[in-house]
Chains A and B, each alone.
Chain A
């Protein structure tokens, strides 16, 4: 990274923007790796049964979705989650990195931006990816642990929607970055606040709704699907 000389940031959503996965992939991976056959079967069944609930909640309230979602981590030990995060990266995330992702990050780095991943996923699952991509920082949700055991609650505020924008604004203030010169990249309309808060928003592999917004506001639309 360009060290102290950077005065602008590039904030990247992860799921769907840089990698072909979403929260459910990570969650499914943890469910499938419970350490015992019975545990795995029970957690997998719970996960499958919860899919309609997740889908409906996501449509109504993203914040509620995240809260419900992370409750499924309750009872997992931190050590185990960290170990599984490495495996999750190797087995799920790494193969799912879009071919155009390294180039996009490199272009932002060459422009003198400080690279930051900004995601609603858990920080411990994102750290190996952040390390691999060579980004400078990570804004992500943090699981609340008591005596090394996950409580199933994330440390507030949950990083999603409007909170992503606030987190980016606070980050720029802390790091001395110019918000109006900074870039943000996302694939989803749910990240509209994060895109709108910076001077240079970009839609990446956008969903239909974001594509419409990007066209209306004349934001660039890029693809990472090809290298």
Chain B
């Protein structure tokens, strides 16, 4: 006969949504570089990620198979001929998060591609890191991503960053039927074949977005990264319902008409943490004594370390991701296959919308690898990424309250995010209106010669990047009635973001209940790892 605890464990392991009861354990939430242990009100629904999909047993053979059995076109080797000019574009380390354990899947794909190209007599090959308006990576970061062997042979002459501000290095391919200018990296545009090596972390990545965004200029990004496009994106994790993606697709289709582009797309499971941090990907109900000890030890350590040391330590822990799918070929059919695999990992069906949504904001985002999650990026994670982790209806009702846990320190990295500082301290006190910011200040920041110079020669994000980060939260801001930051170490950051603040989670929930009533429906989106809700009702 089964005993009740085992039955309970079986139930918890198969259901992704758990309802908090009187004797439920407290939940772990990230708050920047710290971990919180919080009791949630009875009746709160906790949405957990799916367990990791099993990884491919042999990634190299999967890559080779994909190259030989592409979607919608002839195999890669049939496209190659001696003397042709080939450009390989590759995603930067803004994903996955945290960076994956070596060898990075990009290294695996590149090694196979370079061998195939050499065997086919293709010598004129360049590898361009498609950073768009992101920061240039440091040499150790590039070496880690592509592997020592490729780095030493190719860097910096034939392996380098795309430069979105090099007037000589860009070319305009045309204009879409909607008037979007299509600007592309000159080397790629003048190649006989472009091979794009991508890594999909979430469903908004990849497809036409790889070429249309990764290898373009400020003008190219500007064509679709606008407040108006974001307002019409429900959500940008659901490309067919995202205006941003509709625009990107138009640009990408024009590129595909003009150039021969072969995509190699990959995606990974959600095994974000393992070893001493594996308790982070377990449900609190499943904790054994060892998990509690690991958690308590880690929490105590993090409490005692200075923030910079905590950050350095957490950024140094790579993720144990497994590759779960590799597909290659023409843009759209290839991306369709990858999206299926990505959704299978992340989507959790729900049939409700909450009045109050809670989530912890971690220490990392796509835009602060090895750096600080500054207040603007906290906003991106809260109102942008995490809010957009849905298909169908958002997890929180229109006008609902979002509660986030983060210290919201007024701390910026002046080398990586110089224009963010000016945006936050000079512009936000004047207005939070995205349309006004776009119209009045975006061009000034984009053209600021200091920011341009830091982007091109240092490791700084483009001057206009903080604007896109602010727009990124636009549909969240439009939808949410209120955002409450829990645990902020100052008053002015939440205020500049237009948020309220509370000292504790229970205080924040009381504040939310004062608006939505005692019977307010509360939900917790339990990150990490990544989870997306699907509510098609």
Residues of A within 8 A of B (CB): 10, 100, 103-104, 107-108, 110-113, 181, 183, 185, 200, 202, 215, 218, 220-223, 226-227
Q: Would B167 and A218 count as touching, CB distance under 8 A?
A: no
Q: Would A110 and B447 count as touching, CB distance under 8 A?
A: yes
Q: Which of A104, A111, A226 interacts with B447 by CB under 8 Å?
A: A111
Within B408-433, which residues are at the interface with A (CB < 8 Å)? 414-415, 418, 421-422, 425
Q: Which of A181, A183, A221 interacts with B449 by CB under 8 Å?
A: A183
- Residues of chain B within 8 A (CB-CB) of A111 are 447-449, 452
What are 5 A-B pairs at a CB distance below 8 A?
Answer: A104-B449, A107-B452, A111-B448, A181-B444, A218-B421
Q: A110-B447, A183-B449, A183-B450 are in contact. Are A215 and B414 (CB under 8 A)?
A: yes
CA distance A104 to B165 in the complex (A): 12
Q: Would B421 and A110 count as touching, CB distance under 8 A?
A: no
Q: A107-B165, A218-B421 are in contact. Are A200 and B450 (CB under 8 A)?
A: yes
Q: Would A100 and B454 count as touching, CB distance under 8 A?
A: no
CA distance A110 to B167 in the complex (A): 10
Q: Would A221 and B452 count as touching, CB distance under 8 A?
A: no
Q: Would B447 and A218 count as touching, CB distance under 8 A?
A: no
Closest 6 CB pairs of A and B: A107-B449, A108-B449, A220-B450, A111-B447, A202-B450, A107-B452
- Residues of chain A within 8 A (CB-CB) of B452 are 107, 110-111
Query: B50 within 8 Å of A by Cβ?
Result: no
* A177 CB to nearest chain B CB (Å): 15
- Residues of chain A within 8 A (CB-CB) of B457 are 100, 103, 222-223, 226-227
CA distance A154 to B241 in the complex (A): 69
CA distance A103 to B166 in the complex (A): 10
Residues of B within 8 A of A (CB): 165, 167, 414-415, 418, 421-422, 425, 444, 447-454, 456-458
Q: Would B456 and A103 count as touching, CB distance under 8 A?
A: yes
Most chain B C-beta atoms within 10 Å of own C-beta, residue among A107, A110, A226: A107
CA distance A111 to B444 in the complex (A): 8
- Residues of chain B within 8 A (CB-CB) of A183 are 448-450
CA distance A100 to B450 in the complex (A): 12
Q: Would B421 and A10 count as touching, CB distance under 8 A?
A: no
* B491 CB to nearest chain A CB (Å): 20
CA distance A158 to B243 in the complex (A): 59
- Residues of chain A within 8 A (CB-CB) of B414 are 215, 218, 220-221
- Residues of chain B within 8 A (CB-CB) of A104 are 449, 453
Can you name the residue of chain A whose Cβ is closest to the Cβ of B451? A220
Q: Would B454 and A220 count as touching, CB distance under 8 A?
A: yes
CA distance A12 to B450 in the complex (A): 12
Q: Would A200 and B421 count as touching, CB distance under 8 A?
A: no
Most chain A C-beta atoms within 10 Å of own C-beta, residue among B422, B425, B448, B450: B450
CA distance A202 to B422 in the complex (A): 13
- Residues of chain A within 8 A (CB-CB) of B450 are 183, 185, 200, 202, 220, 222
- Residues of chain A within 8 A (CB-CB) of B425 are 218
- Residues of chain A within 8 A (CB-CB) of B458 are 222-223
CA distance A222 to B418 in the complex (A): 10
- Residues of chain B within 8 A (CB-CB) of A113 are 449
CA distance A185 to B454 in the complex (A): 13
Can you name the residue of chain A whose Cβ is closest to the Cβ of B463? A220
- Residues of chain B within 8 A (CB-CB) of A108 are 449
CA distance A202 to B449 in the complex (A): 10
CA distance A200 to B167 in the complex (A): 23
> Could you list 19 further interchain pairs (A-B, Cβ under 8 angstroms) beyond the known A10-B449, A221-B414?
A100-B453, A103-B457, A104-B453, A107-B453, A110-B167, A111-B447, A111-B449, A111-B452, A112-B447, A185-B450, A218-B414, A218-B421, A218-B425, A220-B414, A220-B451, A222-B450, A222-B454, A223-B457, A223-B458
- Residues of chain B within 8 A (CB-CB) of A100 are 453, 457
* A227 CB to nearest chain B CB (Å): 8
- Residues of chain B within 8 A (CB-CB) of A107 are 165, 449, 452-453, 456
Q: Would A218 and B449 count as touching, CB distance under 8 A?
A: no
- Residues of chain A within 8 A (CB-CB) of B449 are 10, 104, 107-108, 110-111, 113, 183
CA distance A218 to B420 in the complex (A): 10
* A104 CB to nearest chain B CB (Å): 5
- Residues of chain A within 8 A (CB-CB) of B448 are 111, 183, 200
Can you name the residue of chain A whose Cβ is closest to the Cβ of B418? A220
* A18 CB to nearest chain B CB (Å): 13
CA distance A227 to B156 in the complex (A): 13
- Residues of chain A within 8 A (CB-CB) of B456 are 103, 107
CA distance A98 to B415 in the complex (A): 20
Q: A110-B447, A111-B447, A223-B458 are in contact. Are A218 and B422 (CB under 8 A)?
A: yes
Most chain B C-beta atoms within 10 Å of own C-beta, residue among A181, A183, A221: A221
* B536 CB to nearest chain A CB (Å): 46
* A43 CB to nearest chain B CB (Å): 39
CA distance A181 to B415 in the complex (A): 22
- Residues of chain B within 8 A (CB-CB) of A181 are 444
CA distance A112 to B425 in the complex (A): 25
- Residues of chain B within 8 A (CB-CB) of A227 are 457
